[in-house]
Amino acid sequence: MDKLKEYGIDELKNQTCPMCGKKTLTLTEIKREIPYFGNVYIYSMTCSNCKFHKSDVEVEKKNLPLKFSIEVSGEDDMKIRVVKSSQATIKIPRVVEITPGPASNGYITNIEGLLTRVKDMFEGQKEIEEDKNKKKEYMKLIKKLNRVMWGKDKLKIIIEDPTGNSAIISDKVKVERISRKKK
């Protein structure tokens, strides 16, 4: 436990899991400095019994609701840092729109990691899809994402976050303020 503290990780074990109700949930919190962005808190909860997992990212300072847009145009862009909160929507025009839901997680990655997550999602859908035309469509999308990751194609990535806890950290990014959605 002292070793975790040494690395700035706070951990609470034996908490009640919201899914299975057993005291097998571990909560962790890590504070990290992300260059050009600031301090963020990375939270996660994992149940050793039912394997429930949830994670999120929160920015230390209060942010406005923001939209980040970037055109990915080469292999160097794969290294661009991405911070995505569980409340963020990811849009890749003519490819996919991923809206937040109860199972949505926050994470810190890069463009390549984001595209790999989307590609893995399509791979999974392709495997269970029975319609041959839909399978072909998934294959086309996977090939497109591969071409982008290899620097042979371009695409636009948009992240909209009503909490302001997300970012794409690059000089190429376009940042716009968005209005908070009323419930």
Q: How confident is the model over 60-111, as pLDDT tens digits? A: 887 889 999 999 999 999 999 999 998 999 999 999 999 988 778 889 999 9
Dihedral of the alpha carbons of 63, 69, 70, 71, in degrees to the nearest 10? 180
% pLDDT > 90, the chain: 73
pLDDT band at 3 (very low <50, low <70, confident <90, very high): low
Residue 183 has pLDDT above 60, yes or no: no
74: CB partners within 8 A, 6+ apart: 151
Query: Cβ(30)–Cβ(42) under 8 Å?
Result: yes
Report the candidate in 158, 177, 154 with the shortest Cα–Cα distance to residue 168. Answer: 158
Query: Cβ(104)–Cβ(143) under 8 Å?
Result: no
Query: Cβ(58)–Cβ(43) under 8 Å?
Result: yes
Cβ atoms < 10 Å from Cβ of 161: 26
- For 120-159, write each residue's pLDDT tens digit: 999 999 999 999 999 999 999 999 999 999 999 999 999 9
pLDDT of residue 62: 77
pLDDT of residue 71: 97
pLDDT band at 30 (very low <50, low <70, confident <90, very high): very high
Going from N- to C-terminal start, the domains of the chain cover 1-61, 62-178
Average model confidence (pLDDT) for the chain?
91
Cβ atoms < 10 Å from Cβ of 170: 17
Distance CA 57, CA 13 (A): 20
One CATH from 3.40.50.11750, 1.20.1260.10, 1.10.3720.10, 2.60.120.1040 for 62-178? 2.60.120.1040
59: CB partners within 8 A, 6+ apart: 37, 38, 39, 40, 83, 164, 165
pLDDT of residue 156: 98
Residue 1 has pLDDT above 70, yes or no: no
What mean pLDDT do residues 26-50 have? 89
One CATH from 1.10.3470, 2.20.25, 3.30.70, 3.30.519 for 1-61? 2.20.25
Distance CA 38, CA 26 (A): 26
Backbone torsions φ then ψ of 25, nearest 5 degrees: -95, 135
Collapsed DSSP state (helix, strand, coil) of residue 7: coil
